[in-house]
């Protein structure tokens, strides 16, 4: 089964790029990702640019409406994701607990729906 | 039920199938007699019904998908493992921490204990429709999120087991101090919890906390016959007629907790059982080993740093060092916002205050407890204490 782990962290508390703290966070992420890849559970993973870069789009009556910003303003923002291939929720939760963002923010684990005719 | 869940791989389908199989058994066994192995007959029939259902479902999907399902559902007798593992796996499934705790309790009562949705709705003070909805949602999450049906591996067992024990404990406390109903206790829930604890102990005999929980439930439940008087009123532990207690249960619980503690792997349920043993084996309230109880509560705070444990420690300290010493602890806790709606704290304060002769303050504390709307039987008890304290001829003497 595939599980999408959505990483929510408060952007304003994240260390600025270039600082030793930021390097440490990156190192921790590389280590976690590496372990997942070696175990063969990692399908894909990436950090996202901050929400200030987000554009939210709606199509209403044929017209495309754009909003500058995220879908919802939250205390913690979606900052990255991991797509994992695991046997069951227990395995997915075990790996999710190794994601550094779980310690500073939260990780939402969502089972990915299987769509007919696709893998 | 547990075995069928493993065979068909879906809790909801299994539940419906078992229900249908039982209905079929009522008809069939009446005319054809009871088969040699009724359990196997039920499992087999339920399995066929589940497979029928899954086949019908499968037909709505793509052809090859249906074929895969048929293959998966093909009868494989070699896969029928020990029933005990199935039951344990079912309990762990219902008590999975990815489910809300209240839902864990409800699902366990439904799928492990076999209570009806209506009975569970009554426990949770909600309508049958709401409870049915909640159970359906939980089963859907189990299926969609891929919550596994199996006994957790050794490294995860301790964590997962504590969730299971908590559910059993909650079933018992809901029965022991029924907040939902007019009666003070719901014996059927107490008995279900003890039955569950026994099953767990049979399945996991080497886990001292499991034995500790079973001992705790037996030692507390043994006092049930003395807790309620002839009019349905609450009787305090110190005033209970100890001859009414179930001494066979007490003996069993005391033996169990001794055995558990000898493993020297302590835990909160073992400590609580040891406390319950002090109470249940004491010849009278005065002859109770309050020193030991106060020490045990001090120990328990390390595992459960909750105000409830601290309040109980205060009562034990009051018995050893006098009411004033206990009152110091309780008064220090009265400002805790988590206890603002917890009647026992005020009842405890009121009791110590009245023993110190501070009757008007005691009445005030009892009234504060009443304003928090405790269960009806406790309300009656508090009202009678207020009457005693305010009756002019008694002089407030208790």
pLDDT at position B59 is 53
Which residue does chain B place closest to A3, by CA atoms? B145
Over its C-alpha atoms, chain B yields an Rg (Å, rounded) of 25
Tell me, yes or no, whether A118 lies in a domain.
Answer: no
Which residues from chain B sit within 8 angstroms of residue A88, using beta carbons?
146-148
What length does chain A have? 119
Compute the distance between CA of residue B286 and CA of residue B281 in angstroms, rounded to an integer: 12
Query: How many CB atoms are located within 10 Å of the residue A79 CB?
Result: 20
pLDDT at position B396 is 46
pLDDT at position B317 is 94
Compute the distance between CA of residue B161 and CA of residue B181 in angstroms, rounded to an integer: 30
Query: How many CB atoms are located within 10 Å of the residue B287 CB?
Result: 8
pLDDT at position A17 is 80
Question: A92 and B65 in contact by Cβ < 8 A?
Answer: no
Q: What is the pLDDT of residues A1-40, one digit of tens each?
A: 999 999 999 988 878 888 888 888 889 999 999 999 999 9
- In the 8-state DSSP scheme, what is residue B109? I
Yes or no: say if B88 and B203 are a contact pair by the CB < 8 Å rule.
yes
Measure in Å the smallest separation between the Cα of B207 and chain A Cα atoms.
22
Yes or no: say if B261 and B283 are a contact pair by the CB < 8 Å rule.
no
pLDDT at position B77 is 33
Please tell me which of the candidates A89, A116, A117 has its beta carbon nearest to residue B146. A89
pLDDT at position B365 is 94
pLDDT at position B397 is 47
Q: Rounded to the nearest 10 degrees, how much is the dihedral formed by the CA atoms of B353, B354, B358, B360?
A: 100
What average pLDDT does the segment B227-240 reach? 85
Tell me, yes or no, whether A116 lies in a domain.
Answer: no
Tell me, yes or no, whether A87 lies in a domain.
Answer: yes
Residue B300: name the closest of B313, B315, B317 by CA. B313
Task: Please check the confidence at residue B364 and state whether its pLDDT lies above 80.
Answer: yes
Question: B62 and A111 in contact by Cβ < 8 A?
Answer: no
Yes or no: say if B143 and B10 are a contact pair by the CB < 8 Å rule.
yes
pLDDT at position B353 is 95
Tell me, yes or no, whether A119 lies in a domain.
Answer: no
Please tell me which of the candidates A1, A116, A117 has its beta carbon nearest to residue B146. A1
Task: Please check the confidence at residue B99 and state whether its pLDDT lies above 60.
Answer: yes
Compute the distance between CA of residue A48 and CA of residue A79 in angstroms, rounded to an integer: 5
Question: B98 and A89 in contact by Cβ < 8 A?
Answer: yes
Compute the distance between CA of residue B254 and CA of residue B258 in angstroms, rounded to an integer: 6
| Tokens coding B392 | 């002019």
Q: Rounded to the nearest 10 degrees, how much is the dihedral formed by the CA atoms of B94, B96, B99, B102?
A: 60
Give chain B's mean pLDDT.
Answer: 84
Q: What is the pLDDT of residues B52-86, one digit of tens each?
A: 766 665 555 445 444 444 444 433 333 334 567 78
Question: B147 and A1 in contact by Cβ < 8 A?
Answer: no
Beta bridge partners of A45: A82
Tell me, yes or no, whether A117 lies in a domain.
Answer: no
pLDDT at position B138 is 95
Q: Is A44 helix (H, G, I), strand (E, B) or coil?
A: strand
Report residue A34: phi and psi, to 5°: -60, -45
pTM here is 0.74
Q: What is the pLDDT of residues B5-54, one digit of tens each?
A: 887 777 777 877 887 787 777 777 777 777 778 778 778 888 777 777 66
Q: What is the pLDDT of residues A42-55, one digit of tens each?
A: 999 999 999 999 99
Please tell me which of the candidates A89, A111, A113 has its beta carbon nearest to residue B148. A89
Q: What is the pLDDT of residues B309-338, one digit of tens each?
A: 898 999 999 999 999 999 999 998 888 887
Task: Please check the confidence at residue A88 and state whether its pLDDT lies above 70.
Answer: yes
Beta bridge partners of A55: A68
pLDDT at position B45 is 80
Measure in Å the smallest separation between the Cα of B147 and chain A Cα atoms.
5
- In the 8-state DSSP scheme, what is residue B222? T
CA distances from A78 to A69, A94, A98, B231 (A): 12, 21, 18, 60
Task: Please check the confidence at residue B242 and state whether its pLDDT lies above 50.
Answer: yes
Q: How many domains does chain A have?
A: 1
Compute the distance between CA of residue B126 and CA of residue B106 in angstroms, rounded to an integer: 12
- Band of residue A67 on the pLDDT scale cut at 50, 70, 90: very high
pLDDT at position B61 is 45
Which residue does chain B place closest to A108, by CA atoms? B98
Question: B147 and A90 in contact by Cβ < 8 A?
Answer: yes
Question: B147 and A93 in contact by Cβ < 8 A?
Answer: no
Measure in Å the smallest separation between the Cα of A15 and chain B Cα atoms.
31
Yes or no: say if B180 and B123 are a contact pair by the CB < 8 Å rule.
yes
Question: A89 and B62 in contact by Cβ < 8 A?
Answer: no
Please tell me which of the candidates A86, A87, A111 has its beta carbon nearest to residue B144. A111
Yes or no: say if B350 and B385 are a contact pair by the CB < 8 Å rule.
yes
Compute the distance between CA of residue B151 and CA of residue B93 in angstroms, rounded to an integer: 8
Residue B247: name the closest of B271, B277, B285, B214 by CA. B277
Measure in Å the smallest separation between the Cα of B308 and chain A Cα atoms.
29
Beta bridge partners of A80: A7, A47
Q: Which residues of A55-72 are buried (b: 16+ CB within 10 A; e: fewer)?
A: eeeeeeeeeeeeeeebee
pLDDT at position A1 is 95
- In the 8-state DSSP scheme, what is residue A15? P
Tell me, yes or no, whether A25 lies in a domain.
Answer: yes
ipTM of the complex: 0.83
pLDDT at position A116 is 79
Question: A89 and B147 in contact by Cβ < 8 A?
Answer: yes
pLDDT at position B78 is 30
CB pairs < 8 Å spanning A and B: 29
pLDDT at position B136 is 95
Question: A88 and B144 in contact by Cβ < 8 A?
Answer: no
Yes or no: say if A89 and B146 are a contact pair by the CB < 8 Å rule.
yes
Q: What is the pLDDT of residues B204-218, one digit of tens each?
A: 899 999 999 999 999
Q: Which domain holds residue A27?
A: 2-111
Write the CATH number for A17: 3.30.70.1060
């Amino acid at each position: 089964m595939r599980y999408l782990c959505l990483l929510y962290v408060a952007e304003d508390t994240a260390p600025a790029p270039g600082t030793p703290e930021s390097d440490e966070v990156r190192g921790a992420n590389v280590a976690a990702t590496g372990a997942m890849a070696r175990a063969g559970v990692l399908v894909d993973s990436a950090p996202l640019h901050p929400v200030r870069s987000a554009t939210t789009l709606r199509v209403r009556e044929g017209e495309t409406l754009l909003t500058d910003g995220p879908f919802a303003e939250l205390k913690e923002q979606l900052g990255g994701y991991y797509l994992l291939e695991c046997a069951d929720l227990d395995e997915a939760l075990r790996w999710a607990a190794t994601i550094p963002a779980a310690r500073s923010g939260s990780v939402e684990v969502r089972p990915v729906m299987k769509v007919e005719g696709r893998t | 039920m547990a075995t069928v869940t493993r065979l068909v791989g879906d809790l909801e389908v299994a539940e419906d199938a078992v229900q249908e199989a039982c209905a079929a058994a009522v008809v069939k066994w009446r005319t054809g007699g009871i088969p040699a192995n009724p359990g196997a007959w039920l499992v087999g029939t339920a399995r066929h019904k589940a497979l029928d259902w899954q086949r019908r479902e499968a037909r709505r999907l793509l052809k090859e998908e249906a074929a895969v399902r048929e293959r998966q559902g093909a009868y494989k007798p070699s896969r029928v493992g020990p029933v005990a593992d199935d039951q344990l796996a079912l309990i762990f499934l219902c008590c999975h921490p990815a489910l809300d705790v209240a839902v864990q309790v409800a699902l366990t009562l439904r799928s492990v204990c076999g209570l009806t949705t209506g009975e569970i709705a009554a426990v949770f003070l909600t309508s049958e429709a709401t409870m049915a909805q909640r159970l359906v949602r939980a089963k859907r999450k189990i299926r969609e999120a891929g919550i596994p049906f199996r006994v957790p591996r050794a490294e995860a067992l301790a964590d997962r087991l504590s969730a299971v024990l908590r559910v059993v404990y909650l079933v018992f406390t809901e029965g022991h101090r029924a907040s939902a109903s007019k009666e003070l206790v719901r014996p059927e829930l107490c008995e279900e919890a003890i039955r569950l604890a026994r099953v767990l102990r049979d399945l996991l005999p080497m886990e001292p906390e499991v034995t500790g929980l079973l001992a705790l439930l037996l030692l507390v439940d043994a006092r049930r016959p003395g807790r309620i008087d002839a009019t349905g009123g609450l009787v305090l532990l110190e005033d209970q007629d100890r001859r009414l207690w179930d001494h066979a249960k007490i003996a069993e619980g005391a033996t169990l907790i001794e055995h558990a503690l000898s493993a020297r792997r302590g835990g909160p349920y073992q400590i609580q059982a040891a406390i319950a043993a002090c109470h249940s084996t004491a010849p009278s309230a005065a002859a109770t080993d309050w020193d030991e109880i106060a020490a045990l509560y001090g120990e328990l705070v390390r595992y459960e740093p909750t105000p409830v444990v601290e309040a109980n420690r205060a009562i034990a300290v009051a018995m050893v060092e006098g009411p004033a010493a206990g009152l110091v602890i309780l008064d220090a806790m009265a400002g805790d916002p988590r206890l603002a709606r917890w009647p026992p704290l005020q009842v405890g304060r009121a009791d110590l205050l009245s023993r110190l002769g501070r009757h008007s303050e005691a009445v005030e504390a009892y009234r504060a407890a009443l304003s928090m709307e405790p269960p009806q039987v406790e309300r009656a008890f508090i009202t009678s204490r207020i009457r005693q304290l305010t009756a002019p001829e008694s002089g407030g003497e208790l």
